[in-house]
């Protein structure tokens, strides 16, 4: 498919590369031009303006946050102003329910289509085309995107005709991941301070009562105190908890654990954790116990 791809960060660079490798005709844009180079070498076309990435059947955004997506989609000379009628904007970033609703309206008003398709999986899963994609929007539009989703992930789950549903499901999933990271951090601090080998402890749990990828991945990072280089930076994790709490406030759903996680991220960021992986909130419990947690 003739596809524009906007946002070549940790996730987007790997995803755009997989679209090129699958034979799609991909035009890439990134705010910082240097990140476009590797994709051009793979065979992608270069867009030097957002508008030039909006000439095909589809444009995908994989940007940091609401501000970035709103700037690129709704700003002067943005996606809404340039995408042809009938073409599809697939928003794959983790953004707020409120912005997703606004984008759906803005595109529908001028006859464009909007699909929300946030993803589960870190950059290594993106590079291996093993993402899980949660897709929502008009079913014919979601179906039309299938060749692209197939090149990006191992499974796509269409969840609703209402785009905001995918964003809410993604935010709830990241809330659960952050809760698992905090719980793992506390448990590992407990056994670690008692002198039990942290790695063996994580291997035991993740091969018996918690055989889940999240426990394996994050348990390993916490046990090793390995929070750099970041695959998913802490400020973006903090953003997701804030967005989950904003949705909870709108729906009047108390989430006391969510509020606790909000403060855990705030503490990490206040103490210089800006460049660490979000798994570093799992190192705070050991610090509270008087142990050093970094690069053990």
Write out the two tokens for 159.
């969840």
> 252 vs 11, 235, 243, 261, 278, CA distance in Å?
32, 25, 14, 18, 27
Contacting residue, 3, 5, 8, 107, with ligand NAP by CB under 6 A: 8
- Closest separation in Å from C-beta 41 to ligand NAP: 17
In the list 28, 60, 72, 144, the residue contacting ligand NAP (rule: CB under 6 A) is: 72
Residue 130 binding ligand NAP, by CB under 6 A: no
Helices (H), ranges, the chain: 10-21, 37-42, 66-74, 79-82, 97-109, 123-127, 139-144, 146-152, 163-193, 198-206, 213-224, 234-251, 256-270, 284-288
Q: CB nearest ligand NAP: which residue?
A: 9
- Residue closer to ligand NAP by CB (options 30, 45) is 30
Phi, psi of 58 (to 5 degrees): -145, 145
Select from 68-76, 156-164, 218-226, 247-255 the region that touches ligand NAP (CB under 6 A): 68-76
Q: Which of 45, 91, 93, 167 touches ligand NAP (CB under 6 A)?
A: 93
- Smallest distance from ligand NAP to CB 161, Å: 23
Q: Which is nearer to ligand NAP, 120 or 201 (CB)?
A: 120
Nearer to ligand NAP, 2 or 35 (CB): 35
Q: How far is the CB of 233 from ligand NAP (least distance, A)?
A: 6
Q: What residues contact 171, with CB distance under 8 A and at least 6 apart? A: 94, 97, 240, 243, 244, 247
Tokens of 233: 């930076």
Contact region for ligand NAP (CB under 6 A) — 63-71, 109-117, 158-166, 215-223? Answer: 63-71
Q: What's the distance, CA 208 to chain centroid?
A: 28
Indicate whether 89 belongs to the interface with ligand NAP (CB under 6 A).
no
What is the C-alpha to C-alpha distance for residues 221 and 56, in angstroms, rounded to an integer?
41
CB of 123 to ligand NAP, least distance (A): 6
Q: How big is the chain by its Cα radius of gyration, in Å?
A: 20
Give SS3 for 24.
coil
Cβ neighbours of 51 (radius 10 Å): 16
The reply to whether 232 sits near ligand NAP by the rule CB under 6 A is: yes
Q: Are the C-beta atoms of residues 26 and 34 closer than 8 Å to each other?
A: no
Check if the beta carbon of residue 104 is closer than 8 Å to that of residue 88. Answer: no
Taking the least distance from each CB to ligand NAP, the nearer of 183 and 231 is 231
12 is a site residue for ligand NAP (CB under 6 A): yes
Instruction: Tell me the per-residue interface mask from 33 to 52 with ligand NAP, x by CB under 6 A, - otherwise.
Output: --x-----------------
One residue of 83, 117, 119, 184 binding ligand NAP per CB under 6 A: 119
* Total chain residues near ligand NAP (CB under 6 A): 26
Q: Which is nearer to ligand NAP, 35 or 216 (CB)?
A: 35
Q: Which is nearer to ligand NAP, 93 or 112 (CB)?
A: 93
Find out whether 89 and 113 touch, Cβ atoms under 8 Å.
Answer: yes
What size, in residues, is the chain?
A: 296
Residues recognised as catalytic: 170
Binding site for ligand NAP (CB under 6 A): 7-12, 30-32, 35, 62-65, 67-68, 71-72, 93-94, 119, 122-123, 231-232, 236
């Amino acid at each position: 498919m003739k596809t524009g791809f906007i946002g070549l960060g940790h996730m987007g660079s790997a995803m755009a590369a997989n679209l090129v490798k699958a034979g799609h005709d991909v035009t890439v844009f990134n705010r910082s031009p240097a990140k476009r180079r590797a994709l051009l070498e793979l065979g992608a076309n270069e867009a030097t303006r957002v508008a030039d990435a909006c000439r095909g059947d589809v444009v995908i955004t994989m940007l940091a946050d609401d501000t970035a997506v709103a700037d690129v989609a709704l700003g002067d000379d943005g996606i809404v102003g340039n995408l042809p009628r009938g073409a599809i904007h697939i928003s794959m970033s983790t953004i707020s329910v409120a912005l997703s609703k606004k984008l759906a309206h803005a595109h529908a008003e001028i006859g464009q289509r909007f699909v929300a398709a946030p993803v589960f999986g870190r950059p290594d899963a993106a590079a291996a085309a093993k993402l899980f994609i949660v897709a929502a929007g008009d079913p014919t539009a979601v179906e039309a995107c299938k060749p692209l989703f197939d090149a990006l992930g191992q499974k796509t789950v269409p969840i609703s005709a209402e785009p905001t549903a995918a964003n809410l499901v993604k935010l709830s999933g990241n809330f659960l991941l952050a809760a698992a990271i905090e719980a793992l951090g506390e448990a590992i601090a407990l056994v670690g301070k008692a002198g039990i080998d942290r790695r063996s402890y994580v291997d035991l749990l993740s091969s018996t009562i918690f055989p889940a990828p999240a426990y394996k991945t994050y348990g390993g990072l916490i046990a090793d105190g390995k929070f750099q280089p970041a695959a998913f930076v802490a400020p973006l994790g903090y953003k997701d908890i804030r967005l989950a709490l904003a949705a909870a406030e709108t729906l009047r759903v108390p989430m006391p654990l969510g509020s606790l996680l909000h403060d855990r991220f705030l503490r990490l960021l206040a103490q210089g954790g800006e460049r660490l992986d979000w798994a570093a909130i799992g190192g705070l419990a050991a610090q509270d116990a008087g142990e050093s947690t970094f690069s053990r």
